[in-house]
């Protein structure tokens, strides 16, 4: 059999591999997350119950074959509804005739990124570990490995081209000398001997090691960052029920936030202010509240598993942020009043602190307590000095 793999075949293969890589990067989840949080999270969750609009985790799959309509919807849903589009009108009716804000500035790609991230985020990140001590690993993002794999694929293709070029040249030289044209079998033997070559083996090992190191670096950067951490607690205490349904103020229980560095977890006697009288819960009947009563009777503290935990070398002060900075709990802790079980919403990494200090204007107040408009950020007040946060 005459060798007839042409360079064109090989280039089109490389092109395919490259586009596959680019496609993976195009679905930029990070951009999707930011856009979602800035534009959509006031009305949509990614999973669970309807907020104002339906959860968006399933939208990507739902509109897989109808992308154009989806893009139009997000950019201008009132327009679609007014035009009498049946699907748009049905959605509008289904969700209590609430109009969704139009987002004319979003590109197709940005909308796809938002929904790709929503799909990713909707996957359960609950990690109920033994004793609640093992953090979950929400950063595991396989994208990087696919990219690496594609790169290795490209390297292999390049080596193949080299083999073919050599083979063609050798074949040409042989033909000129009146020898046999090169057969596929001959190429195979040559390739096998090439694979046994020390240099090639070294190259393969180096590529494998580089991949390994990249993975270790990614792993190392995650140490200490426990975003999404959601341990099982000794009593099924629900923020959704207490802070959401019954609208109990966060500070009623976390009474440290205005006066101290720590927010404080309430002690059993705070629970007893109400549970002396309320001994029957809507979900678990008397079972879970009985544990509160038992702790009270035995005068034993409830051993809540701590979720947020900065390393000792970093200093964070609640009063400074809540009182002086005027920040809401939710800015840092997310929609706690909707959480059945609390989880760590932000990654609490240094980048996260710095990012806000760069952007957040300080709240200067006049003598009557009115906020004076200012463009000064925390950064301008020295909020990026290492010594403010490290000692
Ligand atoms: C002001 C509230 C609001 C905001 C902000 C909002 N939406 Fe909506 N969205 C809704 C409502 C309400 C519906 C249900 C349809 C209706 O009533 O018009 C909906 C429906 C949808 C649907 C259809 C879901 C389905 O299951 O068919 C998609 C997709 C969607 N929104 C995407 C987005 C995206 C992406 C953003 C952010 C860029 C966003 N929405 C921001 C309120 C909002
Ligand atoms: C009725 C009392 C009560 C109210 C009201 C309450 N919490 Fe809590 N909170 C607790 C208890 C008890 C825990 C510890 C158990 C747990 O993690 O669920 C806790 C834990 C937390 C944690 C995690 C602490 C850690 O271990 O790192 C955060 C964050 C938090 N609450 C924020 C809030 C916010 C924000 C609000 C208001 C929207 C609020 N809480 C309202 C009792 C309360
Ligand atoms: C300000 C009043 C108040 C305080 C303080 C309070 N609770 Fe509750 N708790 C309630 C109410 C109201 C209910 C719901 C009763 C109902 O709907 O029937 C409830 C229900 C519960 C339930 C039952 C949940 C279920 O679905 O069965 C548990 C468990 C519970 N609380 C634990 C605690 C713990 C632990 C604390 C202290 C950290 C605490 N509560 C502090 C008011 C309070
Ligand atoms: C600027 C961001 C930010 C804001 C705003 C904020 N927190 Fe925190 N919160 C943190 C960080 C960071 C930690 C971890 C602190 C540590 O480990 O030393 C934390 C820890 C906690 C804890 C764990 C226990 C403790 O005593 O530290 C609770 C409970 C809590 N926050 C409740 C609240 C409540 C309630 C509010 C609103 C009144 C609030 N936080 C506002 C960033 C914030
Ligand atoms: C969502 C925004 C936000 C986040 C996140 C945030 N901060 Fe801040 N921080 C502020 C604001 C606003 C102030 C300014 C308060 C004031 O006016 O003095 C501040 C002030 C401070 C100060 C005092 C600085 C000074 O110049 O007096 C320290 C220390 C600090 N933050 C530490 C942290 C640490 C550590 C983290 C991360 C664990 C963090 N902050 C995360 C908004 C934030
Ligand atoms: C606004 C607060 C803040 C400022 C300003 C700040 N850091 Fe940090 N830094 C943190 C927090 C919070 C962590 C812990 C992050 C974690 O849990 O991994 C940290 C972690 C670190 C670490 C440990 C490695 C790591 O990435 O986790 C080093 C080293 C460090 N900071 C150096 C510095 C230096 C140098 C500066 C000044 C240029 C500085 N920091 C300024 C908040 C701050």
Is 206 a member of any domain?
A: yes
345 located within any domain: no
In a domain, 366, yes or no: no
Q: Among 94, 93, 45, 100, which residue's Cα sits nearest to residue 77?
A: 100
Query: Coil, helix or strand for 359?
Result: helix
Query: Quick check: is 31 in a domain?
Result: yes
Query: Which residue range(s) make up the domain with 74?
Result: 27-123
Same domain, 37 and 108: yes
52 and 101 part of one domain: yes
Same domain membership, residue 105 and residue 38 = yes
Contacts of 322 (CB under 8 A, 6+ apart): 257, 258, 329
Same domain, 33 and 106: yes
Q: What are phi and psi of 27, to 5 degrees?
A: -75, 65
Residue 250 lies in a domain: no
Output DSSP code: residue 369: S
Q: Measure 344 CA to ligand 2 centroid, in angstroms.
A: 11
| CA of 240 relative to ligand 5 center, distance in Å | 27
The partner residues of 361 in beta bridges, in order of sequence, read 377
Give the residue from 222, 251, 277 where a domain finishes. Answer: 222
Are the C-beta atoms of residues 118 and 60 closer than 8 Å to each other? Answer: yes
Contact 391, 311 (CB under 8 A): no
Of the listed ligands, the closest to the CA of 282 is 3
| Separation of alpha carbons 280 and 283, rounded Å | 9
216 and 146 in a single domain? The answer is: yes
Q: Report CA torsion sign: 200, 202, 207, 211.
A: positive
- Can you give the pLDDT at residue 150? 86
* Ligand 2: residue whose CA is nearest its atom 32: 336
Pocket test of ligand 4: the residue of 135, 227, 263, 312 to mutate, having most ligand atoms within 8 Å of its CB, is 263
- Do 88 and 146 have their domain in common? no
The total of structural domains in the chain comes to 2
Taking the CA of residue 328 as reference, the ligand 4 atom at the shortest distance is: 5
Mark which of 88, 123, 158 sits at the end of a domain. Answer: 123
Q: Is residue 169 part of a domain?
A: yes
Whether 109 and 156 share a structural domain = no
Q: What is the pLDDT of residue 89?
A: 92
| Selection from 369, 307, 374, 378 nearest residue 336 by Cα | 307
Beta bridge partners of 390: 314
Checking phi first, is residue 309 left (phi over 0); if not, alpha (psi -120 to 50) or beta? beta
Q: Can you tell me which atom of ligand 5 is nearest the CA of 361?
A: 12
The residue out of 123, 154, 177 marking a domain boundary is 123
Please list, residue by residue across 227-243, b when 16 or more beta carbons sit within 10 angstroms of its beta carbon and e when fewer do. Answer: bbbbbebebbbbbbbbb
DSSP string, 29-90: HHHHHHHIIIIITTT--SSSS-SSS--STTHHHHTTT-HHHHHHHHHHHHHHHHTT-HHHHH
pLDDT at position 376 is 86
Q: Please report the pLDDT score of residue 129 as a whole number.
A: 39
- Specify the CATH number for the domain of residue 61: 1.10.760.10
List residues near ligand 4 (CB under 6 A): 250-251, 254, 256-257, 262-265, 308-310, 316, 318, 321-322, 327, 329, 331-333, 348
> What residue owns the CA closest to ligand 1's atom 11?
53
Closest CA to 379 of 351, 365, 360, 352: 360
Here the contacts of 46-51 (C-beta below 8 Å, separation 24 or greater) are 46/118, 46/119, 46/121, 46/122, 47/121, 47/122, 50/95
Give residue 318 CA to ligand 2 midpoint distance, Å. 14
Per the domain annotation, does 257 fall within a domain? no
Any domain includes 186:
yes
Sequence-ordered list of residues with C-beta below 8 angstroms from that of 343, at least 6 positions apart, any chain = 125, 126, 228, 229, 230, 307
Full-model pTM:
0.62
pLDDT in tens, the chain (391 residues): 444 555 556 556 565 555 555 555 555 888 999 999 888 887 788 988 887 789 999 999 999 999 999 999 999 998 898 889 999 999 998 887 778 888 888 999 999 999 999 999 988 765 443 333 333 343 445 566 677 888 888 999 998 889 888 878 877 777 777 666 566 777 677 777 777 777 777 777 777 777 666 656 655 555 556 777 888 899 999 999 999 999 999 999 999 999 999 999 999 999 999 999 999 999 999 999 999 999 999 999 999 999 999 998 999 999 999 998 889 999 999 999 999 999 999 999 999 999 999 998 887 777 777 777 778 889 988 899 999 999 7
> 117 and 150, same structural domain?
no
Pair 100, 181 in one domain: no
Q: With a 6 A CB cut-off, is 53 part of the ligand 1 pocket?
A: yes
Pocket test for ligand 1, best of 43, 45, 73 (most atoms within 8 A of CB): 43
């Amino acid at each position: 059999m005459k060798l007839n793999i042409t360079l064109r075949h090989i280039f089109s293969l490389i092109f395919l591999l490259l586009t596959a890589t680019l496609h993976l990067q195009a679905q930029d989840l990070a951009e999707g997350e930011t856009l979602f949080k800035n534009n959509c999270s006031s009305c949509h969750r990614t999973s669970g119950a309807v907020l104002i609009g339906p959860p968006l985790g399933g939208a990507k799959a739902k509109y897989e074959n109808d992308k154009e309509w989806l893009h139009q919807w997000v950019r201008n849903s009132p327009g679609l509804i007014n035009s009498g589009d049946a699907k748009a009108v049905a959605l509008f009716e289904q969700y209590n005739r609430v109009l969704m804000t139009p987002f004319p500035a979003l590109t197709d790609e940005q909308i796809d990124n938002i929904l790709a991230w929503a799909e990713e985020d909707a996957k359960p990140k609950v990690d109920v570990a033994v004793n609640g001590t093992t953090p979950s690993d929400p950063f595991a993002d396989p994208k990087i490995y696919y990219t690496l794999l594609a790169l290795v694929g490209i390297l292999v293709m390049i080596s193949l081209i080299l083999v073919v070029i050599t083979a063609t040249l050798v074949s040409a030289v042989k033909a000129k000398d009146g020898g046999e044209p090169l057969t596929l079998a001959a190429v195979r033997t040559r390739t096998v001997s090439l694979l046994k070559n020390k240099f090639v083996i070294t190259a393969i090992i180096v590529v494998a090691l580089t991949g390994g190191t990249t993975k270790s670096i990614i792993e190392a950067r995650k140490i200490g960052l426990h975003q999404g951490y959601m341990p099982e607690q000794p009593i099924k205490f629900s923020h959704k029920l207490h802070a959401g349904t019954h609208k109990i103020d966060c500070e009623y229980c976390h009474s440290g936030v205005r006066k101290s560095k720590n927010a404080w977890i309430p002690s059993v006697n705070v629970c007893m202010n109400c549970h002396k009288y309320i001994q029957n819960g809507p979900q678990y009947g008397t079972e879970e509240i009985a544990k509160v009563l038992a702790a009270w009777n035995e005068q034993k503290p409830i051993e809540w598993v701590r979720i947020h935990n900065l390393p000792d070398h970093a200093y964070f002060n609640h009063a400074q942020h809540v009182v002086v900075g005027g920040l809401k709990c939710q800015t840092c802790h997310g929609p706690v009043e909707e959480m059945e079980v609390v989880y760590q919403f932000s990654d609490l990494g240094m980048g996260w602190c710095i990012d806000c200090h760069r952007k957040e204007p300080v709240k200067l107040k006049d003598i009557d307590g009115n906020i004076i408009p200012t463009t000064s950020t925390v950064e301008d007040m020295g909020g990026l000095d290492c010594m403010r946060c490290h000692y």
